Amino acid sequence: MNTPLHQHTTARTSHHESGTTAPVGETVAAPRRRPEPPAWRQAFNQVEVVVGRPLESMTNSPEAAAILIVTDRLARGVFQQIDALASWGIHQLHLPSQRDVRMLQRQLSAIQRQLSDVQAELYQFRSRDERPGR
C-alpha cells in the first residue's frame, strides 16, 4: 500500500542490526508528520506568543488584581449614580423606574406566598370538617 498515510521505504543494506536497519526487501513505516496548520492558525499562534505571554505575566500580578478591584468598585459607584439620575428622569415623566418595578415584584411575591398559606389553611380546615363523625 503506498498511500500518504502508509508510506513505506525499502532498506538498502544487506545486514540486520537490531533496531537500526531492516533486512533487505523488508519495509519500514515512515514517521507520520502532522499536517501544517492553516495560515490563519499560524498567524494566531504567533500573535498569541507575542501578546499572550507578556499579558499573562502582567495579569497574574498582585497589582493587576488590586487594579481590577478598584476599577470594579468605581464602576459600581458610577452606575449607581447613573441609575439614580435615570430613575429621577423617569419619575419626572410619571413612569415607574426599574427600582419601582423590582419593589412591586417583591411585594407581589410576598402576597402570593401569603395566599398560598391561606389556601393551605383553608384546605386543612375543610378536610377536618368533612371527616365522618363531625
DSSP secondary structure string for all residues of 62-116: HHHHHHHHHHHHHHHHHHHHHHHHHHHHHHHTT---HHHHHHHHHHHHHHHHHHH
Do residues 7 and 30 make contact, with C-beta atoms less than 8 angstroms apart?
yes
What's the pTM value of the predicted model, to 2 decimals? 0.41
List pLDDT tens digits, range 38-61: 999 999 999 999 998 888 888 888
Q: What pLDDT was estimated at residue 53?
A: 86
Tell me which of 100 and 19 has the higher pLDDT.
Answer: 100
pLDDT, position 8: 46
| Per-residue pLDDT at 22 exceeds 60 | no
Q: What percent of the chain has pLDDT over 90?
A: 54
Domain ranges of the chain: 1-33, 35-95, 96-134
pLDDT attached to residue 20? 55
What pLDDT sits at residue 14? Answer: 47
pLDDT of 10 strictly over 50: no
